[in-house]
Amino acid sequence: MMRAGKSAGGTRVQWAERVRAYVRMHGAGYTLHRAGEMLAARVLLRDEWRFRREKASKRELATQRAHLFPNVRISVVVPVFNTRPKFLRALADSLLAQTHGAWEACLYDGGSTSAETRKALEAIAARDSRFHIAFGAENAGISGNTNRAIKMATGEYIALCDHDDVLAPDALWRIAEAIDAHHPDVLYTDEDKLTAHGAIHVDAHRKPDFCPDNLRSGNYICHLSVIRRTLLDAIGGLRPAFDGSQDHDLMLRACERADGVIHIPRVLYHWRTLRGSMSHTKLAVCLDAAARAVEESMRRNGFPGTCRVEDGVLRLRYDVGDFTVAALRLARDASAADVNRLAVDSSADMLLFLWGDTAEPDADGLREMMMYAQRPDVCAVTPLVADARNRVLHAGYDILPDGTVRSRNRGLPVSAGGWHGMNRTSYNVTAVSPMCFLVRRDAFVPLAEGNSLAVDLAQWCMARMQEGMRHVYTPHCVVKADAESAFEGFRVQVPAGWYDPCATGSKRA
C-alpha cells in the first residue's frame, strides 16, 4: 500500500509538472481549452458500442477467408524501440488474425536496450514465417528505423504500422479488395483509439475522402496508410528531418504524386493511447516539423507562402497575386438568376457574394479567402459566418445521405475547436452557403435555376466537385450575419447510395 501511495504521489507530481510546462509553452487559455476538449473526449467520445456494432461479424470474416486476393502482397512495416512485449504480442496476434493471408510483417528493432523487447521479437519470429525481424546496432530514429523496415519488405504495397497498435482482422483484406478493384497508389482507413490496456475503444476518427486542404491543415490520414512500393521509393521514403511529423510529410509527398488515393471508410486501425506518445509530450516538435513539411508542399504545388504554428494549429499563408474583387450584394429574396446576372455584369477577377445583412470581410479576411480562390483547383471559398454572440452559423455544408444539408459546427463558439479541432483549421467542403462566398470569375459557371437560392447553390457546388474542383472553408476569415438569415436543414437531390466525400465524424456514415 505504501508503494502504491508513493507511486500515485509521484504520478501526481509528474502530471503537475507536465501541466506547468504546457502552460509555459501554450498559455493558460489554450491549456484550459485543450483540457476541456480532452474531458469531452473521455465523456462523449466513448465509441465502444459503435465499434461492437460495426466490426466485421464471424460470418463476414469467414466469407473473406473464402474470397482471397493472393496476388496482392502487403508488407506491414513496423519500427521498434524498447516496446513492451505485451504490445508486440498484441500486434502480432492482430496480424495472425487477418483474413487476407498474403502479407508479411517487417519489424526493425533500432537498437533496443530492453532485453525483454528483443526476446519478444524473437518469439514472434518463431510463430510464423511471415514475420521478418532485424536488429540494428543503434536507434536511427522513427524515420530511419521505418526506412530500414521498408528495405526488408518484398510486397508491392507497404502498410505503415506503429509498434504498439493493432489492426482489425479484416484490415488487410479490405485493403487488398480496394487494390484489386482500383489499383491506387495510396490507401487509408478510418481509425479509433484504444485505452492503454486495450479494453475500450474511444474517439473513432471517421475521415473524409481525400481532401488536400484538410491534409495541409493536419495529418488527418494518419493510420492505417498504405503506399505502393514504387511510389514510396520514388519519393525517397521517410525523411528524418521531419521526425515528429514524419508521417504527415510522407503523406503530403505521396498524395501529391499519387495516381489514385482511396479512402476505405471503416475503422480498421486501433491506435493505442500512451502517456509517452510523441503527439502529447513533444507537441512543439511535432508542430514545427509539420509546419516545415506543409510549407515545402505549398512550394512544390506552385503556390509558395508560409506556414506557421499559431495557437496550436497550422496557419497557412499563400502569396496572393494581384486580383480585383467585386463585392456583390444579394437581396434576401435573391435567386440563382440574380447570382448569374451579377456575375455576368462584373468584370472583376474575383466575385464576393454577400446575402442580406452579411458583413463584408475585413482586408485580412478577404486576403485569406483570395489566397485559396486563386488556386486553379479551387472553386468557391467560404469564411466562418458567425452571429452577434460569436456562435457559428456556417462553416461549410455537410450533405447527409438523404440530401439534407447541414452546416458544420452550427452553434459552436467561434473560438472552440470542435470535432478533432477542425473548426480552427481550413478544410474542404462539399457546398457553401449563399451568405458569403468568393469565386474566381473564370471559375464561375451559371447556376441552374428553378429552386431556392440555397438549393441551387448547393447543387452547383456538387456539380463543380464532380468536375474536379474543390471548395474551401477557412476559419481565419470571420464575418457576421443575422442568426435568422442562416440557411439550414433544406434538402437537395442526391444519387442513390450518396455519401458526402468531405464529411467527417458522425456525418460520415
Q: Where does residue 52 rank: exposed (0-12), middle (13-18), buried (19+ CB within 10 A)?
A: exposed
Q: What share of the chain is helix, strand, coil (3-state, %, to 5)?
A: 40, 25, 35
Min mean pLDDT across 196-200, 375-379, 412-416 is at: 196-200
Band the pLDDT of 33: cuts 50, 70, 90.
low
Q: How far is CA 122 from the centre of its chain?
A: 35
**Helix ranges restricted to H, 302-410:** 336-345, 363-373
Q: Does 134 or 412 have the greater pLDDT score?
A: 134
Write the single-letter amino acid at 429. V
pLDDT tens, residue by residue, 144-173: 999 999 999 999 999 999 998 999 999 999
Q: Please answer whether residues 51 and 267 qualify as being in contact, where contact means their C-beta atoms are separated by less than 8 angstroms.
A: yes
d(CA 448, CA 459): 8
Q: Which of 107, 113, 163, 165 is nearest to 139 (CA)?
A: 113
Lowest mean per-residue pLDDT among 236-240, 312-316, 367-371, 417-421: 417-421
Query: Torsions phi, psi of 479, nearest 5?
Result: -125, 150
Query: Among positive and negative, which fits the CA dihedral 420, 424, 430, 435?
Result: positive
- How much is the pLDDT for 54? 76
Instruction: Give pLDDT, residue 322.
Output: 96
On the question of pLDDT at 244 being above 60, the answer is: yes
Dihedral, 282, 288, 294, 299 alpha carbons, nearest 10: -160
SS3 category, 70: coil
Asked if residue 277 has pLDDT above 60, the reply is no
List the beta strands (DSSP E) in 372-482: 378-386, 392-394, 397-399, 405-407, 427-429, 436-440, 470-480
pLDDT of 461 above 50? yes
The answer, yes or no, to whether residue 247 has pLDDT greater than 80, is yes
Q: What pLDDT does residue 37 have?
A: 58
Assigned C-alpha cell, 462: 456538387
pLDDT tens for each residue of 92-151: 999 999 999 999 999 999 999 999 999 999 999 999 999 999 999 999 999 999 999 999
Cβ-proximal residues to 13 (8 Å cutoff; 6+ apart), any chain? none
Question: pLDDT digits over 436-451, tens only?
Answer: 999 999 999 999 998 9
pTM of the model: 0.87
Cell readout for 86 is 505485451
Output the pLDDT for position 87.
95
Section 15-26 average pLDDT: 77
